[in-house]
Structure 1
Amino acid sequence: MAPKVPESVLKKQATQAKLAQEAKQASYDARQKKRQDKNDAIAAAQKYEAEYKAAEEAAVANRRQAKAQGGFYVPAAPKLALIIRIRGTIGVSPKAKKIMQLFRLRQIHNATFVKLNESTLRMLRLIEPYVTYGYPTRSTVEKLIYKRGFGKLNKQRIPIADNSVIEEGVGEFGVKCCADLVHEIYTVGPNFKQANNFLWPFKLTSPRGGFSNKTKLVHFLEGGEAGNRGEEINKLVKRMI
């Protein structure tokens, strides 16, 4: 006759079997979620790509129509700016220093995105001697996020190496992957504030070839580096990534 197994051993075996089954199910669920998230990210990227392409085609059609009618096509005013701090703290007025803190430009060569409106434009004019800014293209937004993107989770600087970082940070606002994040920033979407605050300020390097004016006090339009440089900001970012 086989010896009777103690009740405590049976309970332990049952608990272990239950834990093993739960772990197996959790692993399966995680694999399924990862697969679904990947499919969702691909679908989102394709949807946004079609949206960008339609917008570009519409702009070309409007320019051609205006030209055919003997007029000029005036595109919509930019809604997004990229600001790069190019000077240190020496000689910075308290008001300008406060504005740069609001824009999260605490160190030289820090860069952040800003939604353009009447208020932010006034603030930009006050700090023009210390920063340069312009209007980034979608390609520039993508390169910054993919190459220099860090997210803020629990006040920690976390590299965006996986879409799960984005989902954990701003998933509740419908931003769950890099394509969502780029789209929200580039189009200045309804959740731009949350997406932009999730992004840690970009830490860029000194531009290849250096700045043309060492003092950086002269405005860009006068041959210097400071102030609004419009679309030319994209060339500068390319040298600083």
Structure 2
Amino acid sequence: MSDSVPESVLKRRATLAELKAKREEAKEKKRVARKQSRKVAFKRAEQYVKEYKAQENELVRMRRAAKAAGNIFVDPEPKFAVVIRIRGIIGNSPKVRKILQLLRLRQIHNAVFVRLNKATINMLRLVEPYVAYGTPSLKVVKSLIYKRGFGKVNGQRIPIADNSVIEGELGSKDLICVEDLVHEIFTCGPNFKYASNFLWPFKLSAPNGGFKRKLSHFNEGGDAGNRGEHINDLIKRMI
């Protein structure tokens, strides 16, 4: 006579089997979604490369046309800047402290992307002795995000190790991968504010070779203030 299996054991086995089937189904759905997301991200990356190249070629064409006509071509005004805090809190006035806090530059060597408009330009002028800023190149924007990029998820600093981190926070803004993030920042797109706020302030190292003179403006041979495109050299030494 064979032992009969208690009903409670059979029920538990059935429940476990059901849970396992649901887990497998969810896992498969996630895998398919990730594969689809990778395809979309790859297509977008190709599209962005073409767009950047077209913009570059257009600028070259306009410069040549201006030169041929005997005119001077003025490059478009930068739409955004990268701002790096280069000095500490000693001697800061309450106003300067507040602006640095608004810019999310709470620590020395922190860096953030900022959209340039009348308000932010005035803020930057007020804190010029404490920051270095300028217009980063596409290569530098990519280096910052890929090498030092962390996302803000539920108030926590999370490494951007997977596109799902970006999609989870910015999917509603049609930003699903790192290349979307780079493109939104570099072109200063309509969702720049969300993309910039999603990125935790970059924590950079002290520059190789050190600073020249932190207390002097860049135009006077120092380090502070607006460096224009020369900010790229400084960031490369700090990443």
- Normalising by the residue count of structure 1, what TM-score does the alignment of the two structures yield? 0.95
Match in the other structure for 1:145: 145
> For each residue in 1:147-201, what CA deviation from the matched residue of structure 2 results, as whole angstroms up to 9, or x when unmatched?
0001111111111111111112222211111000001111111111111111110
Structure-2 separation of matches of 1:137 and 1:31: 35
Trace 1:40-55 onto structure 2 (pairs within 5 A).
Answer: 40-55=40-55
Trace 1:10-89 onto structure 2 (pairs within 5 A).
Answer: 10-89=10-89
The question of 1:234 aligning with 2:232 is answered: yes
Structure-2 separation of matches of 1:135 and 1:174: 25
Trace 1:122-141 onto structure 2 (pairs within 5 A).
Answer: 122-141=122-141
Report the secondary structure of 2:230's partner residue.
helix
197-206 vs 14-23, greater mean Cα deviation: 14-23
Report the secondary structure of 1:39's partner residue.
helix
Report the AA paired with residue 235 of structure 1.
Answer: D
Choose the corresponding residue for 2:223, options 190, 206, 225.
225
Report the AA paired with residue 194 of structure 2.
Answer: Q
Q: Runs of 5+ in structure 2 lacking a partner?
A: none
Report the AA paired with residue 237 of structure 2.
Answer: R
Report the secondary structure of 1:229's partner residue.
strand
Report the AA paired with residue 19 of structure 1.
Answer: L
Match in the other structure for 2:167: 167
Q: CA deviation at 1:29?
A: 1.1
Q: CA deviation at 1:17?
A: 2.6
71-80 vs 141-150, greater mean Cα deviation: 71-80
Report the AA paired with residue 188 of structure 2.
Answer: V
Q: CA deviation at 1:130?
A: 0.8
RMSD over aligned Cα, in angstroms? Answer: 1.4
Structure-2 separation of matches of 1:91 and 1:107: 15
Report the AA paired with residue 220 of structure 1.
Answer: F
Structure-2 separation of matches of 1:31 and 1:128: 49
Q: CA deviation at 1:227?
A: 0.6
Match in the other structure for 1:179: 179
Report the AA paired with residue 226 of structure 2.
Answer: N
- Normalising by the residue count of structure 2, what TM-score does the alignment of the two structures yield? 0.95
Q: CA deviation at 1:4?
A: 6.1
Match in the other structure for 1:203: 203
Aligned residue pair count: 239
Q: CA deviation at 1:23?
A: 1.7
Q: Runs of 5+ in structure 1 lacking a partner?
A: none
Report the AA paired with residue 27 of structure 2.
Answer: S
Percent identity reads 59
83-92 vs 167-176, greater mean Cα deviation: 167-176
